[in-house]
Structure 1
């Protein structure tokens, strides 16, 4: 966040997966819930890991589904008890954010569907091949979810920013010009000295 602030801030769209597989899930949620510093606007989108956490805690689901996919680290970061307020915050996150030229979502969406017809599953669980290029309703798609260690993957109509931070320690950010269509005008990565230990699949 310090790097983003140093570059001027503005609107920051977070693409989801704030929890799991790392030791600081609680700190991440607390920071996001606290809100942005002066001069910034934040849009926090839901990722599939928030979905797994919410579904496991609020529905009678088998907890191993979430725990085995990184949830154990999240529970540990809270000392064993996740506040209901944090669960409700995660549950209420929007699935997408649309601007004049772009649509932001966690997983990229189903290219066979219009934006209005996308489902929760397609917006937070969809997978696509690295070089498969597509937009949604003529808009550039910005997403994460499918990691590439040598990313980000920047295509003419789609930008995938997931560089597997939980395993690589590289968290990638793209800068867009809201007045112009297309992909990012700048991309940068922040690298942690020691990547978090990967947990789950």
Structure 2
């Protein structure tokens, strides 16, 4: 019986790194894969990243948690205020949806028209927490919960994940220009990484 679960850090619009990681994980004989959020912004392929993740999640063995960048996108749509989203690198996400043509003065309307309902619904339905008897995983580091192992992303911590006795932080800076994409394997606490270019990081 498959027992291993993989937890994947911030992707931030990097389809090349995501696809490379998916190929690695496909060979790991996993029971489940949990993505920890922040699929959009910074990198130029946010639309493609979200579409790929929505597709793989249909298998039923993949969970997509919501990150603060996805929450900011929903806030922009719901309030009509793009300011906070743009400050987080949202301009490249908008560009990935509206294409190479000129964006109209009413950027929000342009964005709404080109943002597939499937993507909005998927983000709204993303849970914030994945929890089992042994662990709790969230995008933002969760508070201590008894003896449960805590897994998070969100805070860039350099090229290597930080794995301690009771927690792991997995945001190793992946975006469109650099950093690494990291997956932690539970319960062994081994990890695998790819560069932003998609190259596998060798131990």
Q: TM range, normalised to the smaller chain? A: 0.7 to 0.9
Q: CA RMSD in A?
A: 2.0
Conservation of the 8 A alpha-carbon contact between 1:169 and 1:194? no
Distance apart, 1:63 and its partner CA:
0.8
Please state whether the residue corresponding to 1:12 is helix, strand or coil. Answer: strand
Distance in 1 of aligned mates of 2:72 and 2:58: 29
Please name the residue that 2:180 is paired with: 170
Please name the residue that 2:45 is paired with: 24
- Aligned with residue 73 of structure 2, among 47, 53, 62: 53
TM-score normalised by length of structure 1: 0.75
TM-score normalised by length of structure 2: 0.74
Please name the residue that 2:84 is paired with: 65
Please name the residue that 1:117 is paired with: none
Conservation of the 8 A alpha-carbon contact between 2:57 and 2:63? no
- Aligned with residue 123 of structure 2, among 90, 103, 107: 90
- Aligned with residue 2 of structure 1, among 16, 23, 28: 23
Post-superposition, which runs of at least 4 consecutive aligned residues in structure 1 deviate over 6 A? none
Please name the residue that 2:162 is paired with: 153
- Aligned with residue 104 of structure 1, among 96, 120, 137: 137
Distance in 2 of aligned mates of 1:4 and 1:174: 10
Distance apart, 1:106 and its partner CA:
0.3
Please name the residue that 1:142 is paired with: 151
Corresponding residue pairs, total: 163
Gap runs ≥5 in structure 1: 112-134, 178-183, 196-201
Question: Cα distance 1:194–1:30, how it changes in 2: closer, same or farther (>3 A)?
Answer: closer
Please state whether the residue corresponding to 1:31 is helix, strand or coil. Answer: helix
